[in-house]
Amino acid sequence: DAKTTQPPSMDCAEGRAANLPCNHSTISGNEYVYWYRQIHSQGPQYIIHGLKNNETNEMASLIITEDRKSSTLILPHATLRDTAVYYCIVRGGTNAGKSTFGDGTTLTVKP
Amino acid sequence: GAVVSQHPSWVICKSGTSVKIECRSLDFQATTMFWYRQFPKQSLMLMATSNEGSKATYEQGVEKDKFLINHASLTLSTLTVTSAHPEDSSFYICSARRGGGPAGNTIYFGEGSWLTVV
């Protein structure tokens, strides 16, 4: 699996959009970008995934650059409950299923 | 949506004893499950890949005789920490892969199990 690089921490004001970047410059053609988040003492929660097109669901939007070397997770209206560690993972191909977690970004949503 | 359940959620055991953690896929069959370990303030580290009906594949540095993995059915994988020591205290998380192609969200994580060895 390709490695990912994320900023270690970010702050966001409650109600504002949170934009979390991720670099995955070594991503291969058959790998998807996945985002998970982990709230303290819980297992990772799936947020969204994409291959090359931008994606949106009820939780977030995912913007993937045209060269697929980076992506941004957007939480449109962050709430205090969105405070968590966010992990960007690339996965697919013959190792599909095996997830290599980087250090993630600790997002703190402040009132 | 798909659910993966772990049991127990937390366990305390004495040093030298063995403890078993279960990972179940509740509404789908999982031919492959994965076990992770997470120490406080660290990221998840993959320990092993559990394959139904065959031996698990362990990551480098993980002792297979200490962390026994059994995947006896399509909905259950177990991790047994043998002769546990305080340094084995950690948060253990499993994930299960729902059958299908390599793409898409086919991976679901359990809630995790806290192990404390005293």
CA B101 → CA A84, B40, B57, B66, distances in Å?
30, 34, 20, 32
**How many of the other CB atoms lie within 10 Å of CB of A45?**
16
Q: Could you tell me which chain B residue has the CA closest to the CA of A35?
A: B105
> Which structure tokens are listed for B20?
């078993």
Q: How far apart are CA B48 and CA B74, in angstroms?
A: 17
What pLDDT score was predicted for residue A37? 96
| Nearest chain B CA: its distance from A14 CA (Å) | 24
> Which structure tokens are listed for B30?
């999982």
| B104 contact residues in A (CB cutoff 8 A) | 32, 49
Chain B interface disruption, residue of A34, A38, A40, A86, most B CBs within 10 A: A38
Buried b (16+ CB within 10 A) or exposed e, A77-103: ebeeebbbbbbbbbbbeeebbbbbbbe
Q: How far apart are CA B42 and CA B45, in angstroms?
A: 9
Chain A interface disruption, residue of B28, B107, B111, most A CBs within 10 A: B107
Cα angle: B14, vertex B20, B22; to 5 degrees: 145
Long-range pairs for A67-70: beta carbons < 8 A, 24 or more residues apart: A68/A24, A68/A27, A68/A33, A69/A23, A69/A24, A69/A25, A69/A27, A70/A21, A70/A22, A70/A23, A70/A24, A70/A25
Q: What percent of chain A has pLDDT over 90?
A: 78
- 3 state DSSP class of A72: strand
Closest CA to B77 of B2, B5, B27, B18: B5
Sheet holding B67-73, edge to edge: B4-7, B19-25, B76-81, B67-73
Contact B84, B17 (CB under 8 A): yes
Mark yes or no for CB contact A101/B6 under 8 Å.
Answer: no
What pLDDT score was predicted for residue B100? 59
Low-confidence stretches of chain B (pLDDT < 70) are 1-2, 99-105
Which stretches of chain B are DSSP H helices?
none
Write out pLDDT tens, residues A16-36.
999 999 999 999 888 899 999
Using pLDDT thresholds of 50, 70 and 90, give the confidence band for residue A56.
Answer: very high
What pLDDT score was predicted for residue B72? 83
Q: Which residue of B44, B97, B107 is in closest CB contact with A101?
A: B44
What pLDDT score was predicted for residue A69? 95
